[in-house]
Amino acid sequence: MTDQERTESSPESGVQSGVDRLVYWLALTLVIAGLMNVTPAIPGWDDFWKGVSGNEFFKIRRFPTEWLYPIVFFWMMVIVAFKHSMWRSWIEGSPVRRKMGLFLDAALVLAGLAISLSYLIELEAVCLIDVFTGDRARLMAEVLQAEIEYAKLLGLPIPDSADDPACLNTTGDWLPLILFGAVVVFLAYNIKVWGLPLVLVSILIATYTFGTVMNWYFFGAEDQNKYLVTILSSEETRSLVSGREFVRDALVNNTAGLLGRFINVLMLLVFPYIILGALFGKCAGGQALIKLAFSATRKLRGGPAHAAVVSSAMFGTITGGPVVNVLSTGVLTIPMMLKRGFSKVFAGGVEASASSGGSIMPPIMG
């Protein structure tokens, strides 16, 4: 039996194959959910599925973001834990190292779960704990009853609803600790997936921010350089507890929060355009675009790189977005450059630069 046959028949190889299949199906499920979410409105389509399910609130597309975002985030963390498992990477190491790898994999899954649950608990559209306790519903009923009595007393129109109050039961002061622990685990996996330099930049930025907060906490904001102070509160009394609202906003803010625009871009752009790029690369359209780009750059040195620039520019006239451009043309041009001997870093840099330039191509021009 050859070494290759021994490797393929080993238990580790069987585990590797099983995990790879699991990752494939988990990722496929996530992509299908993403494509369903961006399905355009088709006359009668929503009504058809509501009739099939017998539930007027049933949705087959445009799922509620307050539930979709945390589920997708947790699902992605599970995929990362299997795909880039520390335990699998260190399985041939010492027992202590294997246990540490298993601990980190479990920590990543738990961190993703903690972030998702914290989002549902803190988000006023859900207030997960209040849903189970009923405290918020009782408060809303009491407020509505008081408003009805007040309206009757003054002869005003009777209200039929009350304003939604903030969540009564939240994570409290545990939220910063939850986010901090999750970020530490995420950075550990970023080192494995993306490399140490990117993580060092992130740590440097976080250290600078934390240092400016400490400067404000100990010395105040008076007579300070504005670049050396991060103010957590406008109150005269300086307290680190004031920063909880900033932490909460970083989690639940739909515009700039962790489970806001990031997940929104992923669900609305990444999933559909990865599929579009893959189909484009397999059909005649992709080959036609590459041939056209090659014909324009065949006499230049570094032809594939120039072809990547030209194809990204042409695709930019259609989409006008750098992210979409990378997702669509990058699946063609980056492998093409790698086959010609260009490094991964150079190929990625060329595609990123070309796609960014393609976003200002007429007629869309950004």
Q: Walk along the chain (366 residues) and give the pLDDT tens digit of each residue.
A: 454 454 445 555 666 778 888 888 988 888 888 888 888 888 888 888 888 888 877 888 888 888 888 998 999 999 999 988 888 888 888 888 888 989 999 999 999 999 999 999 988 888 888 888 888 888 888 888 888 888 888 888 888 777 777 788 888 888 889 988 998 999 889 888 888 888 899 899 989 988 998 888 888 878 888 888 888 877 667 777 777 888 888 888 766 777 877 787 777 777 776 676 667 666 766 667 767 777 777 777 777 788 778 877 777 776 656 777 777 777 778 888 888 888 888 888 888 888 887 777 765 555
Residue 287 confidence (pLDDT): 66
- CA end-to-end distance (rounded Å), the chain: 60
Q: Burial level of 354, CB count in 10 A (0-12/13-18/19+)?
A: buried
169: which residues sit within 8 A by CB, 6+ positions away?
Answer: 121, 127, 129, 130, 133, 135
Does residue 10 form part of some domain? no
In a domain, 324, yes or no: yes
Crossing angle of helices 174-194 and 95-122, in 10° steps, is 130
Reference 290, options 318, 327, 331; nearest CA is 331
Is residue 339 domain-resident? Answer: yes
Short-list 177, 225, 195, 141, CA closest to 345:
195
Q: Does residue 133 lie in a domain region?
A: no
| Rounded Cα distance, 119 and 227, in Å | 31
- Residue 282 pLDDT: 65
Residue 348 lies in a domain: yes
Report if residue 310 sits inside a domain. Answer: yes
Q: Which domain holds residue 292?
A: 283-358
- Amino acid letter at 189? Y
Does the residue 106 lie in any domain? no
Cα 98 from Cα 175, distance rounded (Å): 30
pLDDT of 318 reads 66
Q: What is the pLDDT of residue 4?
A: 47
pLDDT value at residue 14: 63
Tokens 């990752």 belong to residue: 23
Q: Total structural domains in the chain?
A: 1
What pLDDT is stored for residue 7 in this prediction?
46
pTM attached to this predicted model: 0.75
318 inside domain: yes
In degrees, rounded to 5, the angle at the alpha carbon of residue 261 between the alpha carbons of residues 255 and 263 is: 145
